[in-house]
Amino acid sequence: AASAIMTAGMFSTASGAQLSESSLYDVIPAPVSVEPASGEQYRLTGHTSIHIDKQASSAKRVANRLRELLRPATGFALPIKHDAAKYEGEDETGGISLRLDGSRAELGRAGYRLRIDDDSVTIRATTGDGLFNGMQTLRQLLPATIESDSERSGPWTIPGGEITDRPRFEHRAAMLDVARHFHGVDSVKRYIDHLALYKVNYLHLHLSDDQGWRIQIDSWPRLTTHGGDTEVGGTPGGYYTKQEYGEIVDYAAARNVTIVPEIDLPGHTNAALSSYDKLNCDGTAPPPYTGIEVGFSSLCIDEPVTYRFVEDVIREVAAMTPGPYLHIGGDEAHSTSEADYKKFMSRVLPLVEKYGKTAVGWSEYAKATPPKGSVVQYWHTENSAPEMVEAAANGNKILMSPANKAYIDMKYNEDTELGLDWAGYSTVRDSYRWDPATFLPDVPDEAILGVEAPMWTETLANLDQVEFMAFPRLPGIAEIGWSPASKHDWQAYRQRLAAQAPRWEQLGIDYYRSPQVPWP
């Protein structure tokens, strides 16, 4: 048994002494409570089946995903069995059980309890989301070769014990800028897979900017046929058709990820302005832009056509977005006067409400006093921000993305070829060692919605490059968003992070081998 456990935890700790004990701890984000049962372990075999309650469709969704995850490497059939009556008894099924009977008081909506002993594995939760989160933990407790897309020999052992877990913040997000460089459907799907592994549950897509417009809008077709053509550096861009966007939304939903679309307004709009003469104050469309400056473009604030345009876009984007949020940007509108900015936002914010969505905007839009319940995404680096304190007092929620901590497009150090450095270098430790609840000490904890790791892509032309910037920083941001503050511990984290590397290797992720981490 000991050697089998060591297989599971083989890369897990630098301190070999606790090897067999520690493998149940090798989970990112760190769970709330971990109780190893040394000596116990479950072994996945060709006889293992997955059990769900007969009528539980959300459990069915998770069971299907679990089977999809485990099948390629194990080669096992892993049949899904529907127990005849609603399950009430002990864990006597002998397989992996997914049960929607967890205690809500203890686990909340997205938490789970995972129990592993010699005979069975049971995940309990109150919702399919909770089961899904438990499944991702289970996945990380299997040997890294479970991520292989071809059959491997195992043995597929899982260390025994019990994990009880629930998220600190409901909102744990990543952003991908598909405007500066276009990233196609397959790339976005792959990024979603990475997010799911670390229980990140929102993906914000930055769908428009000066350099490109990436989402089909039927009422304004030139946005994509002209505005989608280009990207930074002058290489061909691209865009998502409505059908492709729907495919992304569905793929994400199946992995517990909600898409948050962003149409950046009223600045960052050169691609739109370039597509239609009539959107410009002087009636003349500017040429496409393929550089990386910001702050030079603005919609024409006093023209009625501007608001027909914005309403059409918001209506169409809202209609293809099942999630609650619509991000309207609002950042770096340096070519829009403050008075115009407020005038613009006061007309646009009601449109977001009209089409049934909650508005999200970058820091600056707080000055337009968005309605109660709207989300302000803090991207500045200062630890004091009176506008955020005021926004919180006005009933807004603050989503934390301070650029010096959460921007994973920042270079790791002066030798990093990719990325930008305007917010400073950001090491793996820097991006991990901060607390979203206390970064702005004057904003009350209850106002903090969660955390987001933006990935701007001025310098990132393909997903391989995106992955190099995301790994290993993204799992750290996921952990500070999910795990209780008491579990944030850099020394322990760097060990657990190192243990993820064999998994990334199986997944074909090219990551940065930071000297701060004791890689195997």
Active site residues: 332
Q: Is 409 in the site for ligand TNX (CB under 6 A)?
A: yes
Segment contacting ligand TNX (CB under 6 A): 105-113, 247-255, 351-359, 403-411? 403-411
Across-strand partners of 202?
173, 258
Question: Is residue 262 a contact point for ligand TNX (CB under 6 A)?
Answer: no
Work out whether 112 is an interface residue with ligand TNX (CB under 6 A).
Answer: no
Taking the least distance from each CB to ligand TNX, the nearer of 239 and 379 is: 379
Q: Which is nearer to ligand TNX, 409 or 452 (CB)?
A: 409
CA distance 446 to 456: 28
Pick 156 or 439: Cβ nearer ligand TNX:
439
Residues within window 430-449 making contact with ligand TNX, judged by CB under 6 A: none
Least spacing, CB of residue 456 vs ligand TNX, in Å: 4
Task: Kindly state the smallest distance separating residue 396's Cβ from ligand TNX, in Å.
Answer: 17
Task: Tell me the two tokens of residue 94.
Answer: 């002998």
Question: Does the footprint of ligand TNX cover residue 362 (CB under 6 A)?
Answer: yes
331 binds ligand TNX (CB under 6 A): yes
* Closest to 258 in 3D by CA, of 148, 427, 129: 129
The answer for residues whose C-beta is within 8 angstroms of residue 18's C-beta and 6 or more apart is none
Stretch near ligand TNX under the rule CB under 6 A, chosen from 114-122, 146-154, 279-287, 401-409:
401-409
**Rounded Cα gap, residues 131 and 114, in angstroms:** 9
Identity of the residue, 10 or 294, whose beta carbon is nearer to ligand TNX in the bound complex: 294
Q: How far apart, in Å, are the Cα atoms of 183 and each of 35, 409, 508? A: 42, 15, 18
Please identify, using beta-carbon distances, which residue of 62 and 174 lies nearer to ligand TNX: 174
Q: Are 302 and 347 in contact (CB under 8 A)?
A: no
Rule CB under 6 A: is residue 504 a binding residue for ligand TNX? no
CB of residue 295 vs ligand TNX: minimum separation in angstroms?
9
Measuring CA to CA, how many Å separate 292 from each of 49, 179, 183, 478?
Answer: 53, 11, 17, 28
Nearer to ligand TNX, 420 or 492 (CB): 420
DSSP 305-330: HHHHHHHHHHHHHHHT--SSEEEEE-
Of 10, 37, 420, 492, which one interacts with ligand TNX (CB under 6 A)? Answer: 420
Out of 379, 412, 468, 511, name the contact with ligand TNX by CB under 6 A.
Answer: 379
Q: Which two tokens stand for residue 75?
A: 């080669």
Q: Scanning residues 481 to 500, which ones bind ligand TNX (CB under 6 A)?
A: none
* Token pair of 274 as six digits: 């370039």
Q: What is the DSSP string of 152-209?
A: ----EEEEEEEEEE--S-SEEEEEEETTTS---HHHHHHHHHHHHHTT--EEEEE-EE
Size of the site for ligand TNX (CB under 6 A): 11
The answer to whether residue 10 forms part of the interface with ligand TNX (CB under 6 A) is: no
Q: Which of 214, 205, 132 is nearest to 466 (CA)?
A: 205
For the bound state, the minimum distance from the C-beta of residue 206 to ligand TNX, rounded and expressed in Å, comes to: 8
Task: Out of 1, 185, 253, 294, name the contact with ligand TNX by CB under 6 A.
Answer: 294
* Smaller CB separation from ligand TNX, 11 or 191: 191
Q: Is residue 332 within the footprint of ligand TNX (CB under 6 A)?
A: yes
CB atoms within 10 A of CB 116: 26
Please state the closest distance from residue 519 (CB atom) to ligand TNX, in A: 27
Q: Which is nearer to ligand TNX, 146 or 333 (CB)?
A: 333
Structure tokens at 472: 């290993």
CA separation (Å) from 73 to 67, 91, 134, 154?
11, 26, 20, 8
Instruction: Show Cβ contacts of residue 500 under 8 Å, excluding neighbours closer than 6 positions.
Output: 28, 140, 472, 475
Q: How far is the CB of 194 from ligand TNX (least distance, A)?
A: 20
Question: Interacting stretch for ligand TNX, rule CB under 6 A, among 185-193, 194-202, 222-230, 402-410?
Answer: 402-410
Of 42, 456, 482, 511, the residue at the interface with ligand TNX (CB under 6 A) is: 456
Q: Which residues contact 217 (CB under 8 A, 6 or more apart)?
A: 223, 224, 312, 313, 316, 317
Q: Is the peptide bond before 444 cis (omega within 30 degrees of 0)?
A: no
Between CA 259 and CA 326 the distance in angstroms is: 9
Q: Which of 289, 407, 439, 493 binds ligand TNX (CB under 6 A)?
A: 407
Q: Return residues touching ligand TNX (CB under 6 A).
A: 294, 331-332, 362, 379, 403, 407, 409, 420, 456, 458
